[in-house]
Amino acid sequence: METYTAAENRYEKMKYRRCGKSGILLPLLSLGLWHNFGDTADFSIARKILRKAFDGGITHFDLANNYGPPYGSAERNFGKIFKEDFKDYRDELLISTKAGWDMWPGPYGNFGSRKYLIASLDQSLQRMGLDYVDIFYHHRPDPDTPLEETMGALDQIVRQGKALYVGISQYSAEETAKAAGILKDLKTPFLIHQPRYNMLDRWVEDGLLDTLEKEGLGSIAFSPLEQGILTGKYLNGIPSNSRAAIEGGYLDRNKITPHLVEKVKALDEVAKSRNQTLAQMAIAWLLKDKRITTVLIGVSSDSQLQENIDSLENLEFSKKQLNQIETILKN
């Protein structure tokens, strides 16, 4: 592939939103490397997606230690692409990674101990060829490790210069408030929460978004399309190449019920009335709430990426459309 030079007009194509009460602006869309960047993916396509994203003003690339498959491979492949294409643009990029899920065997490769988090980030930096990440997240709450230890590890990581900011993912409103209190006392730059949030999974509306606003934190919503359900992919059955078709995969095919399909079909009709695809409307619907700083998208092609970017052309909803959507979702 030819030498990469970023598009000169890249910052004219994207809208940015302040992350809580911080000094950081995030693009309304961020690129997640959970799927399609591991060793089972096409490396040239992954590289093409990253280039197109940055050319479109997407400055935030989000990873985790166990993204792949296999674990670690997404970070390693990103590191190869970073070295070839993005090294000269490092100060224009916001790169994040996480630890909290199972990564290596034994008692020290999972959850939220100081030992695990610090060791994991050291490994991540080595795989990506970076001196630091911009955000390091604790990937999920740990029911057994004291929160003071986990937050203390995040504080130590910042003081060591290995991360500029810290974040958390999937913490409840109460857990988030406690974490914020600890990090505030430590004077640790707590930036953001990464919750799962979409039209079909709205748990964050029951207190978390209010807590984020109160604490001055930003948010990055992951799984905005509910593993492809909100793309219309399953309106006429389960495609053989879809996530639901993979036995033991991330999406249980039993979740694709006739009732759910009817609900998604109704949402698709609303999207058509807005001259959007269902996926585009689902992204726009999340961004209608200014407490959502950015939406984390995952794509398998540059055409999917462009479809997601095009969703930003129509972020406004009429009262009628919002009422239609609420009625559909409540049925």
Q: Is the dihedral of CA 200, 201, 205, 206 positive or negative?
A: positive
Q: Write down the pTM of the prediction.
A: 0.95
Q: Is the dihedral of CA 205, 207, 208, 210 positive or negative?
A: positive
pLDDT digits (tens, 9 = 90+) for 280-323: 999 999 999 999 999 999 999 999 999 999 999 999 999 999 99
- Using alpha carbons, select from 130, 199, 209, 224 the residue that is nearest to residue 173: 209
Q: Can you tell me the mean pLDDT for 42-65?
A: 98
Over pLDDT 90: what percentage of the chain?
A: 90
- Using alpha carbons, select from 200, 203, 197, 204 the residue that is nearest to residue 222: 197
> Angle formed by the axes of helices 114-128 and 73-81, to 10°?
40
Element (H, E) at 177: helix 173-186
DSSP string, 9-53: TGGGS--EEE-TTSS-EEESEEEE-SSSSSTTS-HHHHHHHHHHH
- pLDDT of residue 236 exceeding 70: no
pLDDT band at 237 (very low <50, low <70, confident <90, very high): low
- pLDDT of residue 37 exceeding 90: yes
Distance CA 26, CA 295 (A): 10
In one-letter notation, the amino acid at residue 299 is V
Q: Can you tell me the mean pLDDT for 70-76?
A: 98
29 within 8 A of 297, measured Cβ to Cβ: yes
DSSP string, 304-330: HHHHHHHGGG-----HHHHHHHHHHHH
pLDDT for 242: 56
pLDDT for 112: 98
- Using alpha carbons, select from 205, 221, 223 the residue that is nearest to residue 329: 205
φ, ψ of residue 31 in degrees (nearest 5): -100, 120
Pairing verdict, β 60-62 and 190-194: unpaired
Question: CATH 3.20.20.100: does it fit domain 15-226+280-313?
Answer: yes
